[in-house]
Amino acid sequence: MAIRMPQAHHMAADDRRGPEQLCRYITRPAISNERLSVNRVGQVVLKLKKAWRDGTSHHVMEQMEFMQRLAALVPRPRLHLIRFHGVLAPNAKLRKAVVPIPPTASAPAPMHAGDGDQTRAGSAKGRMRWAQLLKRVFDIDIEQCPHCGGQLKLIAAIEEPAVIQRILTHLGLAAPPPPRAPAVRVGLFEAA
Protein backbone atom coordinates (compact mmCIF):
# COMPACT_ATOMS: atom_id res chain seq x y z
CA MET A 1 0.00 0.00 0.00
CA ALA A 2 1.68 3.20 -1.13
CA ILE A 3 0.69 6.38 0.72
CA ARG A 4 1.73 9.66 -0.81
CA MET A 5 1.73 12.70 1.44
CA PRO A 6 1.83 16.30 0.20
CA GLN A 7 4.69 18.46 1.42
CA ALA A 8 2.48 20.63 3.65
CA HIS A 9 -0.10 18.41 5.35
CA HIS A 10 -2.65 19.91 7.72
CA MET A 11 -4.81 17.82 10.03
CA ALA A 12 -7.77 18.63 12.24
CA ALA A 13 -7.51 17.91 15.97
CA ASP A 14 -10.06 15.05 15.79
CA ASP A 15 -8.66 13.54 12.57
CA ARG A 16 -7.40 10.04 13.40
CA ARG A 17 -6.75 8.88 9.83
CA GLY A 18 -4.34 11.75 9.04
CA PRO A 19 -1.78 11.01 11.80
CA GLU A 20 -1.97 7.30 10.97
CA GLN A 21 -1.15 8.00 7.32
CA LEU A 22 1.64 10.36 8.35
CA CYS A 23 3.14 7.76 10.72
CA ARG A 24 2.94 5.08 8.03
CA TYR A 25 4.66 7.43 5.60
CA ILE A 26 7.44 8.26 8.06
CA THR A 27 7.97 4.65 9.18
CA ARG A 28 7.65 3.09 5.73
CA PRO A 29 9.94 0.11 5.18
CA ALA A 30 13.14 0.29 3.18
CA ILE A 31 11.59 -1.93 0.50
CA SER A 32 8.06 -1.70 -0.88
CA ASN A 33 5.76 -4.65 -0.07
CA GLU A 34 4.64 -4.73 -3.70
CA ARG A 35 8.19 -5.55 -4.83
CA LEU A 36 8.69 -8.42 -2.34
CA SER A 37 7.36 -11.94 -2.63
CA VAL A 38 8.25 -15.47 -1.54
CA ASN A 39 8.54 -18.25 -4.15
CA ARG A 40 7.48 -21.92 -3.72
CA VAL A 41 10.91 -22.93 -2.41
CA GLY A 42 10.76 -20.29 0.35
CA GLN A 43 13.25 -17.87 -1.18
CA VAL A 44 12.69 -14.11 -1.16
CA VAL A 45 12.11 -12.59 -4.60
CA LEU A 46 12.81 -8.88 -4.96
CA LYS A 47 11.49 -7.21 -8.10
CA LEU A 48 13.88 -4.46 -9.20
CA LYS A 49 12.56 -0.97 -9.99
CA LYS A 50 14.31 -1.00 -13.36
CA ALA A 51 15.82 -3.93 -15.19
CA TRP A 52 19.61 -4.04 -15.14
CA ARG A 53 21.70 -3.78 -18.32
CA ASP A 54 21.98 -7.56 -18.55
CA GLY A 55 18.16 -7.91 -18.41
CA THR A 56 17.89 -8.95 -14.75
CA SER A 57 14.50 -7.86 -13.40
CA HIS A 58 14.29 -9.94 -10.18
CA HIS A 59 16.78 -10.82 -7.46
CA VAL A 60 16.27 -14.17 -5.71
CA MET A 61 17.96 -14.84 -2.35
CA GLU A 62 17.63 -17.03 0.69
CA GLN A 63 15.72 -15.65 3.67
CA MET A 64 18.84 -15.30 5.84
CA GLU A 65 20.70 -13.48 3.07
CA PHE A 66 17.75 -11.11 2.72
CA MET A 67 17.74 -10.47 6.49
CA GLN A 68 21.50 -9.75 6.39
CA ARG A 69 20.99 -7.22 3.60
CA LEU A 70 18.14 -5.55 5.52
CA ALA A 71 20.24 -5.42 8.71
CA ALA A 72 23.01 -3.67 6.75
CA LEU A 73 20.56 -0.81 6.05
CA VAL A 74 20.03 -0.12 9.77
CA PRO A 75 22.35 2.70 10.90
CA ARG A 76 24.72 2.12 13.79
CA PRO A 77 23.45 3.45 17.14
CA ARG A 78 24.45 6.88 18.50
CA LEU A 79 26.06 8.02 15.24
CA HIS A 80 25.05 10.76 12.83
CA LEU A 81 23.09 9.54 9.83
CA ILE A 82 24.67 12.12 7.51
CA ARG A 83 28.28 11.60 6.50
CA PHE A 84 30.33 14.39 4.94
CA HIS A 85 33.19 13.71 2.56
CA GLY A 86 35.69 15.87 0.73
CA VAL A 87 36.05 19.48 1.94
CA LEU A 88 33.03 19.08 4.27
CA ALA A 89 34.57 16.15 6.16
CA PRO A 90 35.28 16.94 9.84
CA ASN A 91 39.10 16.94 9.53
CA ALA A 92 39.45 18.27 5.98
CA LYS A 93 42.18 20.89 5.52
CA LEU A 94 39.97 23.17 3.40
CA ARG A 95 36.87 22.91 5.64
CA LYS A 96 37.53 26.31 7.26
CA ALA A 97 37.47 27.94 3.82
CA VAL A 98 33.98 26.67 2.91
CA VAL A 99 32.11 26.45 6.24
CA PRO A 100 30.79 29.80 7.54
CA ILE A 101 32.15 31.06 10.85
CA PRO A 102 29.52 31.32 13.63
CA PRO A 103 28.89 34.85 14.98
CA THR A 104 30.89 35.93 18.01
CA ALA A 105 29.19 35.74 21.39
CA SER A 106 29.71 39.43 22.28
CA ALA A 107 26.04 40.19 22.98
CA PRO A 108 23.71 37.56 24.47
CA ALA A 109 20.68 36.63 22.38
CA PRO A 110 17.40 38.13 23.65
CA MET A 111 15.29 35.67 25.60
CA HIS A 112 11.60 35.50 24.74
CA ALA A 113 8.73 34.62 27.02
CA GLY A 114 8.01 30.92 26.98
CA ASP A 115 11.54 29.88 26.14
CA GLY A 116 12.01 27.92 29.34
CA ASP A 117 14.19 25.34 27.62
CA GLN A 118 16.48 28.09 26.32
CA THR A 119 16.86 29.84 29.66
CA ARG A 120 17.60 26.58 31.44
CA ALA A 121 20.21 25.56 28.88
CA GLY A 122 22.00 28.89 29.16
CA SER A 123 23.11 30.29 25.85
CA ALA A 124 22.02 27.68 23.35
CA LYS A 125 22.80 29.54 20.12
CA GLY A 126 21.62 27.06 17.51
CA ARG A 127 18.23 26.30 19.04
CA MET A 128 14.96 27.64 17.67
CA ARG A 129 12.26 28.97 19.95
CA TRP A 130 9.41 26.50 20.41
CA ALA A 131 6.95 29.00 18.89
CA GLN A 132 9.06 29.00 15.73
CA LEU A 133 9.15 25.21 15.78
CA LEU A 134 5.34 25.05 16.01
CA LYS A 135 5.08 27.36 13.02
CA ARG A 136 7.68 25.45 11.04
CA VAL A 137 6.36 21.95 11.73
CA PHE A 138 2.59 22.37 12.12
CA ASP A 139 2.07 25.78 10.41
CA ILE A 140 0.63 27.18 13.67
CA ASP A 141 1.64 30.76 14.37
CA ILE A 142 0.89 31.34 18.06
CA GLU A 143 2.52 34.76 18.00
CA GLN A 144 -0.02 36.27 15.56
CA CYS A 145 -3.72 36.95 16.28
CA PRO A 146 -5.93 34.92 13.91
CA HIS A 147 -8.60 37.68 13.90
CA CYS A 148 -6.70 40.94 13.44
CA GLY A 149 -3.20 39.73 12.54
CA GLY A 150 -1.63 41.64 15.44
CA GLN A 151 1.33 40.48 17.51
CA LEU A 152 0.47 38.26 20.49
CA LYS A 153 2.53 37.95 23.65
CA LEU A 154 2.92 34.68 25.48
CA ILE A 155 2.12 35.10 29.18
CA ALA A 156 1.99 31.50 30.44
CA ALA A 157 2.43 27.87 29.46
CA ILE A 158 -0.02 25.63 31.31
CA GLU A 159 1.09 22.02 31.64
CA GLU A 160 -0.98 20.63 34.52
CA PRO A 161 -3.83 18.42 33.21
CA ALA A 162 -6.29 19.42 35.94
CA VAL A 163 -5.88 23.14 35.20
CA ILE A 164 -6.14 22.54 31.45
CA GLN A 165 -9.35 20.57 31.96
CA ARG A 166 -10.88 23.35 34.11
CA ILE A 167 -10.02 26.02 31.53
CA LEU A 168 -11.41 24.00 28.61
CA THR A 169 -14.61 23.23 30.55
CA HIS A 170 -15.02 26.92 31.40
CA LEU A 171 -14.63 27.88 27.72
CA GLY A 172 -17.24 25.30 26.70
CA LEU A 173 -14.74 23.11 24.84
CA ALA A 174 -14.34 19.34 25.06
CA ALA A 175 -12.02 18.64 28.00
CA PRO A 176 -11.20 14.95 27.36
CA PRO A 177 -8.99 14.25 24.36
CA PRO A 178 -10.55 12.58 21.29
CA PRO A 179 -10.63 8.77 21.47
CA ARG A 180 -7.75 6.93 19.91
CA ALA A 181 -8.38 4.58 17.05
CA PRO A 182 -6.91 1.10 17.48
CA ALA A 183 -3.57 0.47 15.81
CA VAL A 184 -3.64 -1.36 12.50
CA ARG A 185 -1.01 -4.04 11.90
CA VAL A 186 0.63 -3.96 8.50
CA GLY A 187 2.81 -6.96 7.60
CA LEU A 188 6.21 -6.29 6.06
CA PHE A 189 6.31 -9.60 4.24
CA GLU A 190 2.99 -10.21 2.59
CA ALA A 191 2.98 -13.21 0.26
CA ALA A 192 2.01 -12.21 -3.26
Could you tell me what percent of the chain has a pLDDT over 70?
79
Domain ranges of the chain: 14-74, 128-171
CB 147 within 8 A of CB 163: no
* Span of 24-33, 53-62, 83-92 with lowest mean pLDDT: 24-33
Q: Mean pLDDT, the chain, as a whole number?
A: 77
pLDDT for 111 beyond 70: no
Confidence of residue 58 (pLDDT cuts 50, 70, 90): very high
pLDDT for 156 beyond 60: yes
61-82: pLDDT as tens digits: 999 998 888 887 777 777 777 7
Confidence of residue 9 (pLDDT cuts 50, 70, 90): low
Contacts of 164 (CB under 8 A, 6+ apart): 158, 175
pLDDT for 120 beyond 50: no
Report pLDDT for 60: 94
pLDDT for 28 beyond 70: yes
Find, among 63, 62, 60, 2, the residue nearest to 31 by Cα. Answer: 2
121-140: pLDDT as tens digits: 444 567 788 788 888 888 88
Find, among 46, 42, 41, 7, the residue nearest to 29 by Cα. Answer: 46
Query: What is the C-alpha separation between 111 and 109, in angstroms, rounded?
Result: 6
Mean pLDDT of 2-23: 66
Report pLDDT for 3: 47
